[in-house]
Structure 1
Amino acid sequence: MSLFHFLRNRSSFNPFVVSVTLSFVLLVIGIALLIPQQAETVLNAAKTGIFKNFSWFYILAFSAFFFFLLALSVSSFGNIKLGSNEEEPEFSFWSWLAMLFAAGMGVGLMFFGVAEPLTHYLSPITEGGSGARQQDALLHTLFHWGVHAWSVYAAMALALAYFAFRYKLPLSLRSCFYPLLKEKIDGKAGDIIDILALVATLFGIITTLGFGAAQLGAGLAQIGWISENTFSVQTIVIFAVMGLAVASAASGIGKGVKMLSEMNLTLAFVLMVFVLATGPTLHLLSAFNDNLGTYLSNLVQLSFKTYSYEQNHTEWFGGWTILYWAWWCSWAPFVGLFIARISRGRTIREFIFGVLAVPSLFCVIWFTIFGDTAIWINDHTAAGALGELTGTPEKLLFRFLEYLPLPTLTGLVSLMVIALFFITSADSGIYVLNNIASRDKSVAAPRWQAVMWGLLMSAAAIVLLRFGGLPTLQTMTLIVALPFALLMLIMCFSLWRGLNADHKYFTTAVTPSSVYWSGDNWQDRLERMLNQTQEQDILKFLKTTALPAMRELGEELSDKYSLSVDIQTHFDREEPAVEFTIHKESLRDFMYGIKTIKREVSEQLIKDGHLPHIRHNVTYEPYTYFFDGRSGYDVQYMNRRELIADILKQYERYLNLLTDVGQELMSHQQTELAE
């Protein structure tokens, strides 16, 4: 049995998606094993090329995600629910915020909480005295971990949740492109989208595995359980953690994982409070306000900063900001799917506020407490000893804890937090990979698939660590995330198209002709509804229905009420029309017109076999227009009496406006016309 047939018959996989993905990953592993030096040369060249040619694209893309979400939150689209209009949120607001808080935690915060602010503090990117450099260090750290990172997750999660819960499509990435691809999302176009997402997610998780293994090994060495953090130790750590994650994913012990996650969050929060209490507490409390204000006031400038005028900082820019942006892109399907699953029933405005504000605020708190404390200890207690370890960031957290009380206990707690984050992230990652790779997203994956993903990620992480270390993992993430970032921009456009269609659908009112209709002659109306009107049909309507109605009403108004009525026809115009005007001496005339407008018909509707009455690529409608420039409406289904009633309804509105400001407005407009 071929691999393709095995995947189709013995798994939940989409054979094409998984075959291409496996081939790519195995090719990368094979090249790294067989020709490591040449592979490293190629990867370095690719990294240099991306830094030189596409840094601007990453910056612009992330800013586009952020401002796109802000625009949605303040627009009328913000009122749309992620689900039906009557649907209530699955979780209470505070429970939902707590889960977003959990999503904001991870191995990355443990790895970089101390290392990144201290590294920036000692790098050329910061200038001035100690205070100014410390402020700049925290500013750059918060920029990397703040709303821009969460904008990528929020954009992905919003598209997934919207199309899954509002359009009732499968909870998968290909569904996010439905407004652009329609049914093609079930074909090869959808497969290509899944392949890009699968490859990006794989290398994002593999990079995280590398960071976690390096830090766990460093922690074990720091507390004396092993003599040295070697590659062999990191290999054992990866297999041990991935084994637990695979066992968890294959057994489906969801409650156990939930309990571990809650315990992990508690331990992380306790560790953070401990550092706050035993560190320079007053300094940290003041620094939090300062860091938050500095971050918010520099947000727009940093959003578009590419260091094109500061060439001496471009290496730092590529090695930090651009690598982070690539990492966040690769994690977007993973984190986005989790956020989407817990956000059903929220409005888009509530969703954007919660996903951007809550985790970002927690990151400000976390990095203020760990980062500012590390810089303070380095300058006041450690005599620069912490700064000497920035080249080995996996060691920094544990060395940092040695300068605080109870270092052995806090080191063990940190090890437990990192290990649990490691396990739960890998477990969730396996679920997401199965989801992206599956034919039917609603079918549970066989257990052996969890083992396959675990072995694949472990093997890739170990090989890439062995032949290049963490920089190689980061380079692979940088390369595969570039096309995925472009895909996400297209996804945002698709989401905007979907929201526009949604808004138009739910705000379109019933046509005025339905207001007057009593149900008489319903067969005639149905026949007209199911026949695509052309220009000659509208001309016939104007001559046999609209014009006689206007003449009948005009005779009544002029003979009985002595009003000056004028009826004009414009059948020779590009848009044939008839106009009914009541003249006023001191006010602007009342005018009710009906003109012929042409509308394009979608080719997809013409080809749809379920709509046999749609045969032409254009259709025509008799549309009203008024003396005051208001938007009109279609009146093609009105008969003569209904049309008279509609003219009188508009005339009654006109008469009601003759009082107060309405009279002043119409008098002013009449004066302007006379001039």
Structure 2
Amino acid sequence: MFLFWSLYQSYQQLAGVDKGVKILSSVNIIAVVVLLAFVLIFGPTVFLIGSFTEGLGTYISNFFNLTFSTHAYNDTIQPWFHDWTILYWAWWISWAPYVGLFIAKISRGRTIREFITAVLLIPTLFNFIWMSVFGNTAIWLDINVADGALSLLSINPDALMFEFFDFLPFSQITNYLTISIIIIFFVTSADSGLYVMNSIATKNARISPKWQTVSWGILLAVLALLLLNAGGLNALQSMTLITALPFAVIMLLFIVSLVKALSIDSSYYEKDFSVSTVPWSGTIWKERLKQIISFKDDKTVTNFINTKVKAAFEELEQEFAKNNIEAKINTFEDQQRIEIEIKHDMVNNFKYGVKNERKIVSDYLLTEENLPDIKETDTYYPKSYFGDDREGYDVQLFTKNELISDVLKHYDRFLEIISEEKNEMFISSNANHRLK
């Protein structure tokens, strides 16, 4: 069956009738809800509602115990724990790459809140309802109607399913409906798997080669047949466990990557205009444009620091001296940075410096035609820094007078801070030893 549906799904993609799979998915959801409602209505309805409430409350109150318990001290439960709990953990982990990438693809543009609600909360709640309705109906029928006949079939779940429906009305219709739902699940699962593998193989290309789509469909079918012929369901379960173990480690790395991605996402959307644009006027806008679309190399930035920045600091040093304030320009042998410093005994020194900073340019910028021309992935820019370790910024677009103005702006801030009594504990001169 899996071979047939994998090949059929490949043909569907090639024939351009992918919309048919979407329709099948919608039909399948409706069919599942109808089947669920049928069992709820014609089964022990009052008992099911009460058992759902009690089961949900029991799960919530025992959540941590159920999550972390491995039944290490109970040998009688461990076989069930290994054959069911661990197996399904591994099963879900092995499906995570396909399901995760597929859901991420179709969820583009959604917020994280919407994503979690649609992918985690709603399916979990539906799973609670589904297990409560079918599981508790089977338990009730086994105790009150079947005299234990359903329990005897627990080792044969395929036969158990049809035997279960025999105790409800319209059993022939529900049997055909159940088989149809399972078949459609095969189709939609094959579609998701092919979609994700094509996406990976073509690096998210919009259109996959036809031969590739057929190849993935054949490969999926052949692997399934080999595993079933080699050892049946046990071989498939073993393969699932083998696949899931290494990917569980990768999932932990995904968590770290997700945190980093969210941090980058937050910085992207919260990023404001460059500080250097605050004092701009339209006087030299043509020169500004040339500066914006040009990328500097190491030598150019070093020259900027040792000419324009140094000239601004020297002019400031002279003006501070006229106002009886001793300022000192600190230069360094590598000529990669320069700073102006005003030393103090009782409070922290004031310091404003500019250093040569390297950054890596995105590959998109290298290949995009309608963006500034750049040949190397590394570029350099002059970055300000301060004595109190605050984050600096790019000053390459400042004129000499704007640099002077920027230093005075920070010096004014410095004087405001040290003049307030409440800041005494933060302005101790002990920090001067650290800054040297």
Instruction: Quickly name the TM-score band, shorter chain normalised.
Output: 0.7 to 0.9
Q: Do structure 1's residue 645 and structure 2's residue 409 form an aligned pair?
A: no
Q: Could you tell me whether the CA contact under 8 Å between 1:580 and 1:592 is conserved in 2?
A: yes
The residue number in structure 2 matching 1:595 is 353
Q: SS at the partner of 2:352?
A: strand
The residue number in structure 2 matching 1:93 is none
Q: Which amino acid aligns with 1:465?
A: L
* Alpha-carbon distance change, 417 to 634 in structure 1, aligned in 2, over 3 angstroms: closer
Q: Structure 2 residue aligned with 1:623, among 364, 385, 390?
A: 385
* Alpha-carbon distance change, 603 to 512 in structure 1, aligned in 2, over 3 angstroms: closer
Per-residue CA distance 1:506-526 (angstroms, 9 max, x = gap):
544444333224454938994
Q: Which amino acid aligns with 1:646?
A: D
Q: Structure 1 residue aligned with 2:287, among 518, 522, 527?
A: 522
Following superposition, the deviation at residue 392 of structure 1 comes to 0.8
- Percent identical: 37
Q: Structure 2 residue aligned with 1:552, among 292, 316, 319?
A: 319
* Alpha-carbon distance change, 492 to 282 in structure 1, aligned in 2, over 3 angstroms: same
The residue number in structure 2 matching 1:268 is 32
Q: Which amino acid aligns with 1:624?
A: F
Following superposition, the deviation at residue 277 of structure 1 comes to 1.9
The residue number in structure 1 matching 2:239 is 476
Q: SS at the partner of 1:442?
A: coil
Per-residue CA distance 1:303-327 (angstroms, 9 max, x = gap):
5555555566544333223322332
Q: Which amino acid aligns with 1:546?
A: F
Following superposition, the deviation at residue 401 of structure 1 comes to 1.9
Distance 2:353 2:156 in 1: 75
Distance 1:268 1:422 in 2: 14
Per-residue CA distance 1:277-324 (angstroms, 9 max, x = gap):
222323322333333344344445555555555566544333223322
Per-residue CA distance 1:45-75 (angstroms, 9 max, x = gap):
xxxxxxxxxxxxxxxxxxxxxxxxxxxxxxx
Distance 1:276 1:411 in 2: 16
Distance 1:301 1:256 in 2: 44
Q: SS at the partner of 1:386?
A: helix
Following superposition, the deviation at residue 491 of structure 1 comes to 4.7
Q: Which amino acid aligns with 2:422?
A: L
Q: Could you tell me whether the CA contact under 8 Å between 1:549 and 1:643 is conserved in 2?
A: no
Following superposition, the deviation at residue 474 of structure 1 comes to 1.4
Q: SS at the partner of 1:345?
A: coil
Q: Which of structures 1 and 2 has the bigger CA Rg?
A: 2
Per-residue CA distance 1:8-27 (angstroms, 9 max, x = gap):
xxxxxxxxxxxxxxxxxxxx
Distance 2:330 2:256 in 1: 42
Q: Which amino acid aligns with 1:470?
A: L
Q: Could you tell me whether the CA contact under 8 Å between 2:384 and 2:392 is conserved in 1?
A: no
The range that moved more, 310-319 or 365-374, is 310-319
Following superposition, the deviation at residue 339 of structure 1 comes to 1.6
Per-residue CA distance 1:485-514 (angstroms, 9 max, x = gap):
444444554555555555445544444333
Per-residue CA distance 1:330-387 (angstroms, 9 max, x = gap):
3234323432332121123432343221212211111111122222332333332222
* Alpha-carbon distance change, 356 to 439 in structure 1, aligned in 2, over 3 angstroms: closer
The residue number in structure 2 matching 1:280 is 44
Distance 2:377 2:236 in 1: 58
The residue number in structure 1 matching 2:166 is 402
Q: What is the aligned length?
A: 416
- Report matched runs for 1:136-535 at 5 Å: 237-238=1-2, 241=5, 245=9, 247-300=11-64, 302-308=66-72, 313-438=77-202, 441-446=205-210, 453-518=216-281, 520=284, 522=287, 526=291, 530-532=296-298
- Report matched runs for 1:40-59 at 5 Å: none
The range that moved more, 296-305 or 413-422, is 296-305
Q: Which amino acid aligns with 2:341?
A: E
* Alpha-carbon distance change, 649 to 294 in structure 1, aligned in 2, over 3 angstroms: farther
* Alpha-carbon distance change, 645 to 582 in structure 1, aligned in 2, over 3 angstroms: farther
Distance 1:438 1:634 in 2: 38
Q: Which amino acid aligns with 1:471?
A: N
Q: Which amino acid aligns with 1:666?
A: N
Distance 2:4 2:276 in 1: 71
Distance 1:579 1:502 in 2: 36
Q: SS at the partner of 2:353?
A: strand
Distance 2:273 2:121 in 1: 39
Q: SS at the partner of 2:31?
A: helix
Distance 1:430 1:613 in 2: 35
* Alpha-carbon distance change, 480 to 570 in structure 1, aligned in 2, over 3 angstroms: same
Q: Which amino acid aligns with 2:44?
A: P
The residue number in structure 2 matching 1:143 is none
Q: Could you tell me whether the CA contact under 8 Å between 1:513 and 1:635 is conserved in 2?
A: yes
Q: Could you tell me whether the CA contact under 8 Å between 2:317 and 2:328 is conserved in 1?
A: no
Q: Do structure 1's residue 666 and structure 2's residue 432 form an aligned pair?
A: no
* Alpha-carbon distance change, 549 to 613 in structure 1, aligned in 2, over 3 angstroms: farther
Following superposition, the deviation at residue 664 of structure 1 comes to 5.8
Q: SS at the partner of 2:109?
A: coil
Q: Runs of 5+ in structure 1 lacking a partner?
A: 1-236, 559-563
Q: Could you tell me whether the CA contact under 8 Å between 1:374 and 1:400 is conserved in 2?
A: yes
| Higher RCO, 1 vs 2 (CA within 8 Å, ≥6 residues apart) | 1
Q: Which amino acid aligns with 1:318?
A: H
- TM-score (normalised: structure 2): 0.75
Following superposition, the deviation at residue 269 of structure 1 comes to 0.5
Q: Structure 2 residue aligned with 1:567, among 309, 324, 327?
A: 327
- TM-score (normalised: structure 1): 0.51
Following superposition, the deviation at residue 666 of structure 1 comes to 3.0
Q: Could you tell me whether the CA contact under 8 Å between 2:2 and 2:186 is conserved in 1?
A: no
* Alpha-carbon distance change, 541 to 298 in structure 1, aligned in 2, over 3 angstroms: farther
* Alpha-carbon distance change, 306 to 458 in structure 1, aligned in 2, over 3 angstroms: same
Q: Which amino acid aligns with 2:169?
A: P
Q: SS at the partner of 1:469?
A: helix
* Alpha-carbon distance change, 541 to 481 in structure 1, aligned in 2, over 3 angstroms: same
Distance 1:632 1:241 in 2: 59
Distance 1:523 1:278 in 2: 76
Following superposition, the deviation at residue 581 of structure 1 comes to 7.5
* Alpha-carbon distance change, 531 to 318 in structure 1, aligned in 2, over 3 angstroms: same
* Alpha-carbon distance change, 571 to 309 in structure 1, aligned in 2, over 3 angstroms: farther
The residue number in structure 2 matching 1:578 is 340
Distance 1:254 1:328 in 2: 26
